[in-house]
């Protein structure tokens, strides 16, 4: 069942959401900007991260322990590259589920080649 997280805190870098019923389940949005030079042209680079953290109880050798989980997505680029960043994000979103079923997140080589939309 989906759970909508609530705002837990904010700071200069972003906002943190949490599950009030399970405060170890959080999602952080962080952003920053910095000057960037591309072939001598000044512009601004924007970076953003979305970070999910959770704790999952697992049993190992008959002992139940808390496994700290983390999923992080980071993007970086200029405003002029926003459309291309969107294509890359949508391409990743369309394929990451398949790669997970191929155990790529456990270090195995995915059999499904990346496809850029």
Number of domains comprising the chain: 1
Whether residue 117 is contained in a domain is answered as no
Torsion of CA 38, 40, 42, 43, to 10 degrees: -10
Is 112 a domain residue?
Answer: no
Give the three-class secondary structure for 117. coil
Handedness of CA 6, 56, 49, 73 (dihedral sign): negative
In this predicted structure, what is the pLDDT of residue 30?
97
In a domain, 30, yes or no: yes
Q: Which two three-digit tokens encode residue 41?
A: 């042209």
Give the pLDDT confidence score for residue 2 in this predicted structure.
Answer: 87
The rounded average pLDDT for each run of 10 residues, N- to C-terminus, in the chain (117 residues) is: 93 96 95 97 97 97 97 97 97 96 95 94
The C-alpha atoms of residue 51 and residue 117 are separated, in whole angstroms, by: 24
Residue 63 falls inside a structural domain: yes
Neighbours of 94 (CB within 10 A): 11
Q: Looking at the domain assignment, is residue 114 inside a domain?
A: no
Token look-up 């939309």 returns: 117
Q: What residues make up the domain containing 10?
A: 6-106
Q: Tell me, yes or no, whether 37 lies in a domain.
A: yes
100: domain CATH number?
2.40.160.220
Specify the pTM. 0.85
């Amino acid at each position: 069942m989906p759970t909508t997280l609530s705002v837990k805190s904010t700071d200069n870098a972003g906002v943190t959401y949490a599950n009030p019923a399970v405060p170890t389940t959080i999602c952080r949005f962080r952003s920053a900007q910095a000057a960037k030079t591309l072939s001598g042209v000044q512009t601004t680079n924007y970076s953003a991260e979305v970070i999910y953290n959770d704790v999952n109880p697992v049993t190992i050798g008959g002992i139940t322990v808390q496994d700290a989980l983390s999923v992080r997505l980071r993007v970086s680029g200029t405003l002029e590259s926003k459309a291309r960043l969107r294509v890359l994000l949508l391409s990743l979103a369309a394929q990451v589920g398949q790669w997970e079923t191929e155990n790529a997140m456990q270090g195995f080589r995915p059999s499904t080649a990346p496809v850029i939309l």
